[in-house]
Amino acid sequence: MQDLHYYSSLITVADDCKAEVATVPEVKGSNRTAAVVQYELLADHPHEFDSNEVLFESWCTRQGSWDDLSPDERDQLREQFFAKPQACLRASPLAKTYGWGLLFDADGKVALLARESERYQQLASGGGEGVQIVKAMRTRRAS
């Protein structure tokens, strides 16, 4: 299984993110986007999930109801999901589009951090001792 974890790190907002302040992603039609699902997971449960859990849970939620699966079936599905290459949270729409930083603690658990917050500004400018800064992927190629 791929290790997409970060530890004591901040994924900063993408350089080309248009959101000046962090915004809550909205449901479009009847479908919950990856941004909506990831936001709900992280806003409701800060520092409870690691990268792999966020990616897998958001994928499962968007696929349909997985509530009927046994723990063994869920584990098998997880193995199949991570058997293929997956993008890490640097590609999350939360950091690319919606203005959210992703703060990982020493155990690799992630929480949202609004780009306009004092804590984000402090960490992003290198003021967080021991916190590695990693930029989110750009939405578009640099020209």
CA–CA distance, 50 with 84 (Å, rounded to integer): 18
Tens digit of each residue's pLDDT (9 = 90 or more) over 68-98: 778 898 888 888 888 888 888 999 999 999 9
Q: What is the pLDDT of residue 57?
A: 86
CA–CA distance, 41 with 48 (Å, rounded to integer): 9
CA–CA distance, 21 with 69 (Å, rounded to integer): 39
Count of domains forming the chain? 1
Q: Does 24 fall in a domain?
A: yes
27 contacts 61 by C-beta, under 8 angstroms: no
DSSP per-residue letters across 78-109: HHHHHHS----GGG-HHHHTS-EEEEE-TTSE
Q: Does 30 fall in a domain?
A: yes
Q: Does 2 fall in a domain?
A: no
> 116 versus 72: which is more confidently predicted?
116
Please, which pLDDT band fits residue 121 given cuts at 50, 70 and 90?
very high
Q: Does 1 fall in a domain?
A: no
* Position 142 pLDDT exceeds 60: no
Q: Can you give the residue range of the structural domain that contains 118?
A: 9-135
Q: Does 127 fall in a domain?
A: yes
Q: How far is CA 133 from CA 38, 54, 65, 67, 124, in A?
A: 21, 20, 36, 36, 7
Q: Does 141 fall in a domain?
A: no
Quickly list H helices, the chain.
34-44, 51-63, 71-83, 93-96, 118-122
Q: What is the pLDDT of residue 61?
A: 79
Average pLDDT (15-21) is 95
CA–CA distance, 82 with 137 (Å, rounded to integer): 20
Q: Does 3 fall in a domain?
A: no
Q: Does 59 fall in a domain?
A: yes
CA–CA distance, 89 with 136 (Å, rounded to integer): 8
